Amino acid sequence: MNKKVIVISSSPRIGGNSDTLCDEFVRGALDGDNAAVKYNLEEIRFHACKACYKCKTPEMKCFQEDGLAEVLDKMMEADVIVYATPIYYYSMCGTLKRFFDRCYPIFNQLEDKDYYIITSAGSSNGNALTGIRDFISFSKNPTEKAVFTVIGDAKSQTELLKEVYEAGFDC
């Protein structure tokens, strides 16, 4: 109730399996009187982290002006963060990893957030959760609330869609 929710959807398949679960989470969150916003990383043309460490100077900003600043600001403000990825070679997809690398200016300023992880796979998550959890562990006092994994076509999995909707509603 009255939480600020940000959903980071990283699949290139907008409306695909993980993105469908993201939409259900957002729908539930809004119905539960929360403020929710979803970003499809596919729609934001952003570069990789250049490891210049300029973001670690007092300015604390990335010099690359490519549309990610708004997303990072929203993450800082959020109470609830959802990371969603399709599984590629038993890992998170490259787009989500590239995004995590670009979180270097803020990763250790994220504090007291609740986290949800959404994955979609043909058969299994493999080690993908480890990498995502490792990134989350760099934030302060994180709470992992739930992991939702869809194997195959999301739109036909009504029980799972309901679970994700309810998680958004109750977040």
Ligand X SMILES: Cc1cc2nc3c(=O)[nH]c(=O)nc-3n(C[C@H](O)[C@H](O)[C@H](O)COP(=O)(O)O)c2cc1C
- Judged by beta carbon, residue 100 or residue 107, the one nearer ligand X is 100
Please tell me the distance from the alpha carbon of residue 8 to that of residue 104, in angstroms, as a whole number: 16
- Judged by beta carbon, residue 18 or residue 139, the one nearer ligand X is 18
Binding site for ligand X (CB under 6 A): 11, 13, 16-19, 86-90, 120-124, 126
For the bound state, the minimum distance from the C-beta of residue 159 to ligand X, rounded and expressed in Å, comes to: 17
Q: Which residue is nearest to ligand X (CB)?
A: 16
Classify residue 140 by its DSSP letter: B
DSSP 60-120: ---S--SSHHHHHHHHHH-SEEEEEEE-BTTB--HHHHHHHHHTTTTTTT-BS-EEEEEEE
For the bound state, the minimum distance from the C-beta of residue 24 to ligand X, rounded and expressed in Å, comes to: 13
- Judged by beta carbon, residue 11 or residue 34, the one nearer ligand X is 11
For the bound state, the minimum distance from the C-beta of residue 156 to ligand X, rounded and expressed in Å, comes to: 12
CA 123 vs. chain centroid, Å, equals: 21
